[in-house]
Every structure is written in structure tokens, then in C-alpha cells.
Amino acid sequence: MVRPLASIENGGMTTTVPAGSVVVGVDGSASASHAVDEAATLAAAERRPLVLAHAAPAPAPAGTGWMEATGVDHRHVCRMIKEDARALLSAAEKPVREAYPDLEIHQVIRLGDPRETLLETSDEAALMVVGTRGLGPIRHLLLGSVSSAMVKHARCPVAVVRAQPADRGARVVAGIAGEPDDVGILDVAFRVAEARQLPLTVLHCFWDAVRVAEGIRDVAPGTPGTDDLWHALEEAVRPHAAAHPGVEVHHQLSCGMADERLLQESREAAVVVIGHRRKPFLNELVYGSIAPVVVERAACSVVVVPIGLG
């Protein structure tokens, strides 16, 4: 199924998003450029279409008083915005085309809010990729409403990409909760590890006040009282490892707060993969959620997988 997006102007071009695409938000920033690189790598590895999406600022509606008073032609403004957007996407597409000449690439241009544009594509996309400028003590503000909206509301996995040194991050880390929904998280984590040709560490975190007080974090196999946890972790991973025999897999059982352990692991990882269950608004305010915290504070890129969607 191909879902149409709104045309950029009445009677103008209408763009579409092929089902199963990797969609990446493009705005001309350095962070978006890193996001395009990551999206192209993943799309090429899985032989999926790549969609470069850009939301251009919408001009005032035709017939607005100030435009008429100043003699501004609304159609001309729309054409200029469209031309600038096409130039932006063409510039983003050029290096991708050179690196992956056989990759199927589409461009989506829409007037309006970038959050709405990307959220509309999430019903059809296999993966959404966005950049982040988040740095420093107000990182959660600079992360941006686009990345935040995607993490909380997209109906497909969302990769929030951070630029890293070329030699930084030699593995993918997946955080699982020991629940049935871990299947989706592990599926994405194995796919990312396979595409990036990196080993995968699957981490399950549990709370043990005594061990935490003693400063114990990682728990070795055979530790008294943890056999059931180790067995559940290994059984959850087994079918995915069988489906991706080329991925080197490691198991990690840790005690403590899940967000703190994942943030610590992010310092030496290339990508962290976690799940996010959408909560009612009030619950989100009172209890918070691990995924947005990890996305905001992680030292590496994070892929958030929506779970429990009806």
C-alpha cells in the first residue's frame, strides 16, 4: 500500500511513501546529514526504499490581507518554497546515490509542521530516522520537538541519530524487559546489528536492592538466585540469533535502574535499542518513561521501538 501525502500546492505535485520504506527527515543541518547517512546504510542493507522527507514552512494562505496589499503572488511563493525544498533534497540525495547506486530513493516535500509530516509516514515506514542537535545541560530542550514527537507517537521504530567519532562504539546494545513485547525490540536490534556489521549485547536489568547497595551491577551466570533470569534472557534471544547467524551475540544481566544502566552502556556503544509503550498523558507526566530519558541523555544513537500498539 502506498499512502499519499498532501500536495505541496493545489494542483501541484503529490508525493507518496512506499510501504516498508526507511524514512529520514532532512532539514539541511549537520545532524540531518548524519541521519541521512545512517538511513541510507540501513535501507541499503535491507534493500528497502529510502524516503528523504522535508517539511517546508507554509506561507500565509492565499487571499491573506498583507500578501494582497504588498502584491505578493501566493502561487509564486509556493513555487519558490518548492524549488528550495527540491534543491535541499537533491543535495542530500547526491552522496547517497553515489554510495548506493542501486538504492531506490524517493523524495517527500510537504508544506507544514515537520512533526505531522513524519508522523503521517510512520504508518507505512519500516523505520523513521531523525537527527538531534541535543547538547549540554538543556539537551532535552535542544533535542527538539520533532525527535521528541517521533519517539513518543510514531507507529514505527524511530532512530534518533547522534554524530560520533569514526572509531567510537563497537557494538549495538538492546535493552529488554523480560516481556512478550521484547520480540519487536530484538527483531529491530538484530537487524540494526546485522546492517552495521556490529556485535549485539542484549541487556536485561532487574532490581535487587541488596546487590545495588553493595555496588554490584553485572551478574555472572551461575550467580545464586539468577538462574531463572538467565534462562529467560537466553530463551528470548535464541530464535532471533538463529534467524541472524552472522550477528555475534552477548548476554548481559544487570541489577539497578534500567535507564541508568542503559545510559552507562551508551558511552561505549554505537546504537542502543529500546522499547517504548505509549502511556496516557497523565501517566506520562507522573511516572515518566524510560525511552525519552535514554534518548535525551544517551551518548550514542538510540532506536526506539513502539510496543503494545493496537
Per-residue pLDDT tens digits of the chain, which is 310 residues long: 444 443 333 222 335 788 999 999 998 888 889 999 999 999 999 999 999 998 877 665 655 555 555 555 667 777 787 888 889 999 999 999 999 999 999 998 887 788 888 888 888 899 999 988 644 333 433 345 678 888 888 889 999 998 776 556 689 999 999 889 899 999 999 999 999 999 999 999 998 888 877 878 889 999 888 999 999 999 999 999 999 999 999 999 999 889 999 999 999 999 999 998 865 443 443 334 788 889 888 999 999 999 876 5
Task: Give residues with Cβ within 8 angstroms of 81, minimum separation 6.
Answer: 8, 56, 57, 59, 111
Angle between helices 290-297 and 258-266 (to 10 degrees): 30
* Residue 133, Cβ density class (10 Å: 0-12 exposed, 13-18 middle, ≥19 buried): middle
Instruction: Tell me: do 16 and 156 sit in the same domain.
Output: yes
Instruction: Tell me: do 112 and 254 sit in the same domain.
Output: no
Domain-embedded: residue 8: yes
Domain-embedded: residue 167: no
Instruction: Tell me: do 242 and 293 sit in the same domain.
Output: yes
Instruction: Tell me: do 180 and 208 sit in the same domain.
Output: yes
**Domain edge (last residue) among 142, 161, 180:** 161
Q: How many domains does the chain have?
A: 2
Instruction: Tell me: do 157 and 287 sit in the same domain.
Output: no
CATH number at residue 121: 3.40.50.620
Rounded to whole angstroms, the Cα distance separating 67 from 59 reads 10
Residue 118 belongs to domain spanning:
2-161
Rounded to whole angstroms, the Cα distance separating 201 from 260 reads 16
Q: What is the pTM of this model?
A: 0.84
Closest CA to 303 of 151, 194, 94: 151
DSSP string, 246-292: TS-EEEEEEES-HHHHHHHHHTT-SEEEEEEE---HHHHHHH--HHH
pLDDT of residue 119: 86
Q: Please, are residues 14 and 4 in contact by the beta-carbon 8 Å criterion?
A: yes
Instruction: Tell me: do 220 and 138 sit in the same domain.
Output: no
Instruction: Tell me: do 116 and 14 sit in the same domain.
Output: yes
Q: How many CB atoms lie within 10 A of CB 154?
A: 24
Instruction: Tell me: do 200 and 291 sit in the same domain.
Output: yes
Instruction: Tell me: do 126 and 176 sit in the same domain.
Output: no
Domain-embedded: residue 166: no
Domain-embedded: residue 94: yes
Instruction: Tell me: do 126 and 197 sit in the same domain.
Output: no
Domain-embedded: residue 39: yes
Domain-embedded: residue 236: yes
Instruction: Tell me: do 27 and 141 sit in the same domain.
Output: yes
**Domain edge (last residue) among 112, 129, 161:** 161
Domain-embedded: residue 129: yes
**Domain edge (last residue) among 137, 161, 185:** 161
Instruction: Tell me: do 178 and 290 sit in the same domain.
Output: yes
Domain-embedded: residue 117: yes
